[in-house]
Amino acid sequence: MAGTGSPQSEPRVPGVAAEDRRTTLARFLAAASGAHAVEVIGLTPLRGGAIQENWALDAYFSGGAFSGEQRLVLRTTAPTGVATSLGRREEFAVLKAAFAAGVTVPEPLWASDDPEIVGKPFFTMRRVEGTAAAHRITRDPALDPALPAIAEQLGRELARIHTIRPPRADLAFLAPYEEVGPTHQIAGFRAYLDRHPTPRPVLEWGIRWLETHIPPPTEPVFSHHDFRTGNYMLDGTVLTGILDWEFSGWGDPHEDIGWFCCKGWRFARLDREAGGIADRAPFYRGYESESGRSVEPRRVFFWEILASVRWAVIALQQTDRYMIAGERNLDLALTGRRATECELEILMLLDPGGGASGA
Amino acid sequence: MRDLPTGPALLALARDVLLNQLMPLLPPKAHLEARLVAKSMAIAEREAILGTAPAPGILHELEELYREGDEDKQVLLHRFARDLRVGAFEQGEPRERDAREILWRLTIAKLRNANPRFLKANGFS
């Protein structure tokens, strides 16, 4: 998930000085890449990623296939997270599968679970240029003429992600679709609301609608599960990478489409239904041309309602990290307020024309 | 009896100082955090004026829906949520419509506090 995160110090192993840490990391990089030696030139926190920590890692490789200066990202886990996200080793495997499927992603390089290197599991990937800042992307008038084509390309990228199908030995850690489909998700939402101290009548109403409108089963595909504006990188008008794969797993192909289009991810442009960047038409066109399958609006509608419920629950969980886990982060503390925005969207979709009495 | 200016007035002034006087002096990397601080102050200001509980009118409508006036309001809200989960209002049109009206009013009232701009962007005053 995108976010601001709090100011971070360099990843650390308790009792180990920063200099020794860089040396240990450099040794790991050398061994993993086949270099004679590696010097870590810079390690600085990157913005974005409320659940994971991302570090800009600049290193000089002497010898081996990566000889020269390399601009990388080191991705590790934040102090508290969301229970449903993948571990870093698993996210690394997912990124490799996406890269092999031709999806535009930063090339994944090396991963380690060794706590002696940076204190927790991590992986490295190439650093791609550009911005993922959703408000900037949806607000910048200079980008406007290019956005429909970008939406179409994102449709094609999504179709490529969906070419990955079960069973996959390299992705055997992913829960079977039967355990993550709509019925399971609905049960998860209700279990969370049962633990939440404040009643959420609109979410309960929306979940009830979902429960009574589950679409017929379909062949599952590999789904990003957080495919949206804010999770892709643009360098000017060039798409340079699909980011943040920590929620990925098997899913209904329409699930990612509903998530991309739901109002919660349109940022400054609520009127542009495909991620705040374009109408749905170019996005759907890109998806259909690459996949050879038609987008079914009724299924998208179901998954869009589910997306609003899911985003509301995630928003509340983010604030739990402040309220319950004690993570002192203003962004997280405020995110829970967005749940009511999702509730308004649920009402607008399921009761169009309603709300006159409350206005 | 409190001294003036009021808490909400002080928050409004402090927010103005933050955004218009301090923000230009801050490095760009601190702007996002400063905006979050300003946003928090705006929410606190609105809640200080409007209160944090659902509007009394909405709670009264809940009492009407259940025809019970002596139950604790929060308990009633929990009961409403539980009933919506099991589709308790789906049997008859008037009660279903009444329940939906309460959902709308509750949501719009909360957004007036949390994010009136979002409300306006969606066509609600």
Structural domain for B12, as ranges: 7-50
- Clarify whether residues B42 and B69 are in a common domain: no
State the smallest CA–CA distance between residue B40 and chain A in angstroms: 7
Who contacts B117 (Cβ-Cβ below 8 Å, separation ≥6)? none
Tokens standing for residue B101? 């009206």
ipTM above 0.85, yes or no: yes
User: Given A331, A337, A358, which is nearest B104 (Cβ)?
Assistant: A358
What is the value of pTM for the model shown? 0.90
For chain A, which domains are there? 18-126 (3.30.200.20), 134-350 (3.90.1200.10)
How many domains, in total, are found in chain B? 2
- Clarify whether residues B44 and B64 are in a common domain: no
Instruction: Please tell me the distance from the alpha carbon of residue B104 to that of residue A11, in angstroms, as a whole number.
Output: 46
Q: In the prediction, which pLDDT does B103 show?
A: 96
pLDDT at A50 over 70: no
- Clarify whether residues B15 and B63 are in a common domain: no
Name the helix (H) or strand (E) containing A40.
Answer: strand A37-45
Strand A108-112 to A221-223 pairing = unpaired
Cβ(A285)–Cβ(A176) under 8 Å? no
Q: In the prediction, which pLDDT does A86 show?
A: 86
Q: In the prediction, which pLDDT does B64 show?
A: 87
Cβ(A189)–Cβ(A207) under 8 Å? yes
Q: Is residue B1 part of a domain?
A: no
- Clarify whether residues B117 and B95 are in a common domain: yes
- Clarify whether residues B63 and B45 are in a common domain: no
Interface test with A, best of B107, B112, B115 (most A CBs within 10 A): B107
Cis amide prior to A282 (ω within 30 degrees): no
Tokens standing for residue A172? 């055997």
User: Given A4, A333, A358, which is nearest B108 (Cβ)?
Assistant: A358
Inter-CA distances, B18 with A243, B15, B33, B41, Å: 34, 5, 11, 10
User: Given A199, A341, A344, which is nearest B77 (Cβ)?
Assistant: A199
Domain-terminating residue out of B34, B50, B66: B50
| Interface membership of A348 toward B (CB under 8 Å) | yes
Cβ(A74)–Cβ(A108) under 8 Å? no
Q: In the prediction, which pLDDT does A1 show?
A: 39
Residues from chain A that touch B74, judged by Cβ atoms under 8 A, are 199
- Clarify whether residues B64 and B86 are in a common domain: yes
| Interface membership of A209 toward B (CB under 8 Å) | no
Which of residues A160 and B5 earns the better pLDDT score?
A160
Buried-state track A200-219, b at ≥16 Cβ within 10 A, e below 16: bbbbbbbbbbbbeeeeeeee
Q: In the prediction, which pLDDT does B113 show?
A: 82
Q: In the prediction, which pLDDT does A10 show?
A: 61
pLDDT at A100 over 50: yes
Strand A232-235 to A108-112 pairing = unpaired
Tokens standing for residue B48? 């200080």
